[in-house]
Chain A
Amino acid sequence: MTWSVVGGYIAAHFLLYVCVFRHRALFRTERGIFLFHVVPMAGLVALAFGAFLWNPGLDGFALVVGAGAAHGIYSLSFLECWLLSEGGYSLRILSELVRRGAATPADLEQQFVDMSARKKIGRLESLLHLGLVQTDGDRFRLTRQGMALANAMTLVASLAGFERRAER
């Protein structure tokens, strides 16, 4: 296995999406598009690892790491664009403003207030669905995994010298 195989595999994955899968409803869902990237990435790494086991050596091991990293760069870039285009709230407001030509803040408020509510409920449901948050009577609390994630994010914030500067 060589780098050209890795490059070809990634290019084929993208072309397959462009030509076939982007028109399918499943690939317009977060779960569908996530699996569309994670499964082939695992496949590529497994393929490279198989080649490494067949012919062990430092270069073979480098190819396992490099293939995973190259697919990771591609998939992360792709998924970021996908997520931004699917849920980019500010950009949706801007797009609507361009469509209208001009609008008062009150007009936009009226149009997007339902979307705000849906977004908030959707995020809370996602956290529940992912097992990061659980209900405790009428309150919501973090699960153990949720607490681990929150601690990791606090570490990220403290590394950067920020207090909780996240959007409220």
Chain B
Amino acid sequence: MTWLILAFGGVALAVLGQALILRSSARSNGMVAFVLAGVPVGLALMAALLPGYSASQAWAGVFLYAFLCELWMFVFSSTFSSVSANLTLHLRAQPLGRRHIDQLYDNRAMIHRRIRWLHHIHAVVEKDGRLVPTDRGRKLAGLFDAVRAFFGHG
């Protein structure tokens, strides 16, 4: 059963590594920090499991590690980017009325925040007061439209 302990321990180590990277550099991106910590830990885990255990146990450990890492990235990114998660955090501090919630999540401010993010990832540029998609933005939008069509959301 040590393969199970190694898988859980590996995730704990990757999360710890991410925390250390983020605390040592204020400009670090949370996801990048986790990948930087998680990939070497994952490779080390494979190196430890594959030669030392039966194929079933070794791959179960690797799959478990990968699944827990993905789950952590999902929880982590949701905590920092989801409106629902953010609202939950505000309500943790105090109960809020509808008007207060409307002020926190002003409709126009939500749009401008998205536009700032699109600038930040170089998907749009501003020319003569108008927003214009970059090549990168066009590719991203094309991919998004294709995925929407695949899932029937288009």
Answer whether residue A12 sits at the interface, using C-beta atoms and an 8 A cutoff.
no
Interface string of B103-115 (1 = CB under 8 A from A): 0110110111111
- A108-B115, A139-B96 in contact; A113/B108 too (CB < 8 A)? yes
Residue from B3, B76, B95, B141 within 8 A of A156 (CB atoms):
B76
Contact yes or no, A94 B147, CB < 8 A: no
- A97-B124, A105-B112, A120-B107 in contact; A160/B96 too (CB < 8 A)? no
Contact yes or no, A166 B107, CB < 8 A: no
A103 contact set on B, CB distance < 8 A:
130-131
- Total interface residues on B, CB under 8 Å, equals 78
- A82-B151, A127-B84 in contact; A141/B110 too (CB < 8 A)? no
Describe A's contact surface by its main secondary structure: helix
- A82-B151, A116-B111, A166-B80 in contact; A139/B97 too (CB < 8 A)? yes
Residue from B63, B84, B92, B144 within 8 A of A69 (CB atoms):
B63
Contact yes or no, A28 B60, CB < 8 A: no
Instruction: Give the CA-CA distance A1 to B150 in the complex, in Å.
Output: 32
Contact yes or no, B124 A136, CB < 8 A: no
Contact yes or no, B66 A73, CB < 8 A: yes
B132 contact set on A, CB distance < 8 A:
97, 101-102
Answer whether residue A112 sits at the interface, using C-beta atoms and an 8 A cutoff.
yes
Given contacts A119-B110, A147-B92, A166-B85, 9 further A-B contacts (CB under 8 A): A62-B3, A90-B118, A92-B144, A105-B115, A108-B111, A108-B115, A117-B107, A124-B101, A139-B96
Q: List 9 A-B contacts (CB under 8 A).
A: A82-B151, A85-B150, A85-B151, A103-B130, A103-B131, A160-B30, A162-B80, A166-B82, A167-B80
